[in-house]
């Protein structure tokens, strides 16, 4: 805070902060002082996040190195006068860019929520008058008048507080309103504990007060978080890293092959210009033009499918990142819980009574009395058809409990009309209401258990009041402590009968019992977390709430089957993953719950788990979650309860706030990666075969069996449509029972490249054999022989789609043969290949004369050889896997018999 030097505002007494800010409390600032301070501190607003421009979206679509290589091939084609080929390559590039651009454009527009927070009016005292001003005009030193319902528009030090409470969940994650007072606090007090401050972006839930502005704009706590969000650079997704890595390898492979081919051709006496053309053909053959297109279409399809399941994706690559997630860091309030208080239990003299909503009449006089007090000593209102519930969350919960659990409780306020109220007194920590009852009056009291217990002389029993002795008071205190350790919030309920309405409401009371509240767990959370754990994904809770409350929710949610490991924020103050003590780092990595955590600590925790090799998904809904959401590999915001700030920072927004939706989205991400791997194997085996066909033919002194434009046509026809069909597969039913794949695992590893090599060689042999037989056995002209080679290669690549099924799948009925899109793609591609051979104009452009009946038969027969070879390879690998499983099973059985299961 720029105005106050020395101690922090919360550490100064009221008189000291007023003096430090040089203001007359009764008069307020003058016009000249306001103008001078605004010039010094600026307007009270947060720095607006720049919306992503159309140009940046367009540039993002062309960052792939594969696209750059294609662009270079297009330029070479134009340089050599091959206009059709150059235009075709440019069409591929533009088509891919258009798909990505229009898909992402729908999701990336910023709503500038942080700026909107300041667009409200604030009541201030200036020049001796109370006036309402635009919140953007506030300056340090302004005296602000507070009342219930006000949105706080700057950081304020309280000068006066009457029954004042503030909802700070947006900032701290604390699920309950915080009671406020004016007493100074130690300098090092954390933000959630600063009871003499209220902060920009929070709201007053009850009471009234007066405060002085200590910080505005980016100097506020919410401004500091906004700055953290800006500093937290979004991570490049795992898929983008993998595709970029694959692209770089393809570039070097392509350049190496092209240079080698040019050198070999020149050494064999070919003209340099012809060899450069051939090298360009090799480059076009080696680059899978369909890879960026199919990857983009596949991700877009997954994005739309997730949107139908209430998960809105803001960035295409985030679709696959969900499937790679190994760690979920989840917020508690509003994410795991309902973010509203509920009565869960009543503690009476002879035992506990769990609340059973909608239960019939039980004749339990204690419960009936407790419900009546909760309804009477209450200023809240429940939701109706026209309005939402209003009031303090605990009072709403008490009212709801009374209305739901007892049919006659609805009549309490009509039967016992209120004649007086004693508002909540922070000094006493109690509230009382007085109600007419026959010839006398009924007093209803609620408050902090220790405060109410101290003024009670009796305890309520069905047969009558019984005096409270010291031993009984200790039992009540012990029961209160045990419930608090469970993470429950407690209020004590008491009553008395009197002949007048003006007696001391807090004397001679009878304790009825204690009522226990909890922000309840969302119903879908335990099953969702079980599904996540079964998929091998770690889940840890990060919350600004108290450790006991967080631990209770964590156990209910099933975060830890054994002992729960909880770390409090005070242990992580100043935590830096780079310099942290190794023991603390180990404890952090194994923790299940992080309680009372500050926003910058959340950011450090995300970095810590990322450094440990995790792909981190962070869920949240508040302003305090935004920096960590942006920094994580996949930021997930809640759509219903989430703030606009959180949604802007996130990659995924769950429209229904359901954890089950998150797990469904993760499954879809895994399916997409498996599908991407399938079509990469398919595309690469097709493209490598094209390189080998051209390279081996030229190296052997044969005419070129394929021309660059023919290769490009094949890449766009036999590559794109079958590959896209593979990308639309529904996936394996057991995909969520597997552990997450290694985040460092490439799309195509050693096993995949070995399969690519085998399939490529098979397609190459079939194509070159048909070309040689067409030239020297059938005696066809060179152009017709090229048509035979073209048709053989095209058909072999189409049948190759059946070679990318899973190794363990059956031959005839599997995820590929059961995919209707695959059959549709094969039919479409067959028609396009026929058009290339016999459609006037297109066949001339591609230089594909009719090969005749014999040529067609030769191509059709030899095109089946790679399919047969591929199925033999898959059968061999399946038998290898089965043999390995049969070998290890007896060993595992012996181990389990003698040493027990692992």
- Sequence-distant (6+) residues with CB within 8 A of 427 are none
What is the C-alpha to C-alpha distance for residues 635 and 540, in angstroms, rounded to an integer?
15
C-beta separation of 145 from 164 below 8 A: no
Looking at the DSSP bridge assignments, the partners of residue 133 are 122
* DSSP letter string, 514-555: EEEEE-PBPTTHHHHHHHHHHTT-EEEEE-SS-HHHHHHHHH
The radius of gyration of the chain's CA atoms, rounded to the nearest angstrom, is: 36
Matching residue, tokens 């999701």 = 107
Residues sharing a CB contact under 8 Å with residue 849, sequence separation 6 or more, in sequence order: 781, 783, 784, 787, 843
Axis-axis angle for helices 547-557, 525-534 (nearest 10) = 70
Tell me how many degrees the CA angle 764-770-772 measures, rounded to the nearest 5.
100
Catalytic residue among 137, 150, 331, 657: 331
Strands 538-542, 593-595: pairing is parallel
SS3 47: coil
331 assigned to active site: yes
Burial class (CB in 10 A: 0-12, 13-18, 19+), 472: middle
Q: Which of 611, 529, 541 is nearest to 569 (CA)?
A: 541
H/E run at residue 617 = strand 616-620
Coil, helix or strand at residue 646: helix
Query: Residue 297: left if φ>0, alpha if ψ -120 to 50, beta else—which one?
Result: alpha
Task: Tell me the Ramachandran region of residue 384: left when phi exceeds 0, alpha when psi lies from -120 to 50, beta otherwise.
Answer: beta
Structure tokens at 259: 């240079």
- Helix/strand/coil for 265: helix
Q: Kindly provide the residue ranges of all beta strands, DSSP E only, lying in 624-777, ordered along the sequence.
A: 634-638, 652-654
Can you tell me whether residue 288 is helix, strand or coil?
A: coil
Backbone torsion region of residue 445, taken as left when φ is above 0, otherwise alpha when ψ lies between -120 and 50, otherwise beta: beta
The dihedral formed by the CA atoms of 683, 685, 690 and 696, expressed in degrees to the nearest 10: 160
Residue 415: count of CB within 10 angstroms of its CB: 14
| Nearest partner of 287 among 100, 84, 60, 96, judged by Cα | 96
Of 553, 627, 637, 632, residue with least CA distance to 594: 553
What DSSP designation does 624 have? G
| Overall residue count recorded for the chain in this entry | 902
CB 337 within 8 A of CB 175: yes
Structure-block tokens of residue 505: 């409401």
For residue 383, give both structure tokens: 């939701």
Residues 449 and 483: beta-carbon distance below 8 Å = no
Contact by Cβ (8 Å): 177, 167: yes
Per-position DSSP letters for 751-817, written without gaps between them:
HHHHHHHHHHHHHHHHHHHHHHHHHHTS---HHHHHHHHHHHHHHHHHHGGGGGS-TTS-SSSSTTT
- At residue 418, the 3 state secondary structure works out as strand
Taking the C-alpha atoms of residue 618 and residue 596, their distance in angstroms, rounded to an integer, is 17
What is the distance between the alpha carbons of residues 413 and 419, in angstroms, rounded to a whole number? 11
The structure tokens 């037989």 sit at: 773
| Angle of CA points 434, 437, 441, to nearest 5° | 40
Known catalytic residues? 331
């Amino acid at each position: 805070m720029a105005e106050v030097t020395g101690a922090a505002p919360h550490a100064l007494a009221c008189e000291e902060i007023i003096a430090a800010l040089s203001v007359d409390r009764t008069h307020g600032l003058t016009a000249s002082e306001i103008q001078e301070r605004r010039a010094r501190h600026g307007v009270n607003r947060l720095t607006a996040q720049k919306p992503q421009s159309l140009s940046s979206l367009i540039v993002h679509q062309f960052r792939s190195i594969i696209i750059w290589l294609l662009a270079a091939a297009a330029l070479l084609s134009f340089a050599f006068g091959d206009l059709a080929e150059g235009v075709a390559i440019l069409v591929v590039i533009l088509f891919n860019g258009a798909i990505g651009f229009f898909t992402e454009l729908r999701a990336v527009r910023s709503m500038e929520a942080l700026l909107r927070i300041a667009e409200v009016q604030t009541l201030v005292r200036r020049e001796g008058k109370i006036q309402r001003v635009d919140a953007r005009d506030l300056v340090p030193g302004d005296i602000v008048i507070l009342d219930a319902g006000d949105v706080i528009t700057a950081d304020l030090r309280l000068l006066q507080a009457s029954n004042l409470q503030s909802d700070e969940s947006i900032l701290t994650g604390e699920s309950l309103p915080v009671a406020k007072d004016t007493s100074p606090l130690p300098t090092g007090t954390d933000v959630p504990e600063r009871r003499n401050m209220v902060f920009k972006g929070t709201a007053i839930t009850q009471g009234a007060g007066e405060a002085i502005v200590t910080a505005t704009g980016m100097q506020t706590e919410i401004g500091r978080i906004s700055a953290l969000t800006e500093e937290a650079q979004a991570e490049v997704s795992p898929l983008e890293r993998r595709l970029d890595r694959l692209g770089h390898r393809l570039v070097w492979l392509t350049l190496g092959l092209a240079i080698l081919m040019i050198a070999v051709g020149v050494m064999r006496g070919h003209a340099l210009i012809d060899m450069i053309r051939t090298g360009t053909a090799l480059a076009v053959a080696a680059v899978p033009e369909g890879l960026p297109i199919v990857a983009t279409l596949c991700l877009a399809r997954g994005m739309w499918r997730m949107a139908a399941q209430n998960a809105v994706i803001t960035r295409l690559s985030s679709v696959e990142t969900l499937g790679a997630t190994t760690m979920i860091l989840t917020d508690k309030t509003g994410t795991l819980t309902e973010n509203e208080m509920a009565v869960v239990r009543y503690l009476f003299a002879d035992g506990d009574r769990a609340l059973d909503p909608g239960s019939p009449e039980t004749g339990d006089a204690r419960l009936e009395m407790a419900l009546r007090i909760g309804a009477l000593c209450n200023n809240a209102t429940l939701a109706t058809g026209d309005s939402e519930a209003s009031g303090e969350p605990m009072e709403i919960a008490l009212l709801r409990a009374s209305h739901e659990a007892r049919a006659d409780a609805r009549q309490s306020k009509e039967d016992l009309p209120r004649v007086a109220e004693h508002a909540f007194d922070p000094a006493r920590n109690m509230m009382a209401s007085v109600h007419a009852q026959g010839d006398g009056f009924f007093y209803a009291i609620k408050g902090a258990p220790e405060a109410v217990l101290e003024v009670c002389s009796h305890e309520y029993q069905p047969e009558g009041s019984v005096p409270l002795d010291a031993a009984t008071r200790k039992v009540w205190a012990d029961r209160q402590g045990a419930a608090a350790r469970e993470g429950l919030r407690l209020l004590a309920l008491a009553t008395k009968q009197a002949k007048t309405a003006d007696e001391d409401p807090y004397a001679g009371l009878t304790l009825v019992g204690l009522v226990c509240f909890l922000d309840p767990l969302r119903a879908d959370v335990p099953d969702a977390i079980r599904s996540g754990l079964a998929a091998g994904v770690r889940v840890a809770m990060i919350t600004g709430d108290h450790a006991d409350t967080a631990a209770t929710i964590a156990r209910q949610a099933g975060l830890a089957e054994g002992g729960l490991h909880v770390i409090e924020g005070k242990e992580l103050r100043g935590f830096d993953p780079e310099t942290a003590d190794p023991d603390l780092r180990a404890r952090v990595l194994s923790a299940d719950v992080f309680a009372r955590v500050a926003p910058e600590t959340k950011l450090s925790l995300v970095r810590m788990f990322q450094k440990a090799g995790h792909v981190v998904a962070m869920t949240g809904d508040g302003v305090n979650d935004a920096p960590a959401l942006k920094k994580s590999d996949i930021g997930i915001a809640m759509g219903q309860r989430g703030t606009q700030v959180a949604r802007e920072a996130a990659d995924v927004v769950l429209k229904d706030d359901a954890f089950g939706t998150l797990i469904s989205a993760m499954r879809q991400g895994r399916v997409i990666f498996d599908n991407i791997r399938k079509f990469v194997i398919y595309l690469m085996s097709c493209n490598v075969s094209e390189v080998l066909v051209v390279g081996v033919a030229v190296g052997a002194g044969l005419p070129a069996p394929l021309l660059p434009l023919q290769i490009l046509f094949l890449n766009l026809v036999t590559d794109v449509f079958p590959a896209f069909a593979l990308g639309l597969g529904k996936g394996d039913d057991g995909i969520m029972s597997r552990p997450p794949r290694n985040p460092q695992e490439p799309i195509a590893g050693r096993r995949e490249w070995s399969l690519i090599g085998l399939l490529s060689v098979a397609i190459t042999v079939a194509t070159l054999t048909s070309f040689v037989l067409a030239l020297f056995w059938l005696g066809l002209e060179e152009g017709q022989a090229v048509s035979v080679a073209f048709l053989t290669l095209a058909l072999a690549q189409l049948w190759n789609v059946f070679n990318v099924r899973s190794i363990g799948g059956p031959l005839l009925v599997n995820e590929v043969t059961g995919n209707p899109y695959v059959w549709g793609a094969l039919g479409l591609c067959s028609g396009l290949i026929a058009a290339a051979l016999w459609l006037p104009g297109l066949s001339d452009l591609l230089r594909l004369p009719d090969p005749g009946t014999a040529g067609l038969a030769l191509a059709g027969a030899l095109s089946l050889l790679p399919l047969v070879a591929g199925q033999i390879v898959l059968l061999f690998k399946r038998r290898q896997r089965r043999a390995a499983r049969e070998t290890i099973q007896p060993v595992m059985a012996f181990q389990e018999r003698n040493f027990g299961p692992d």
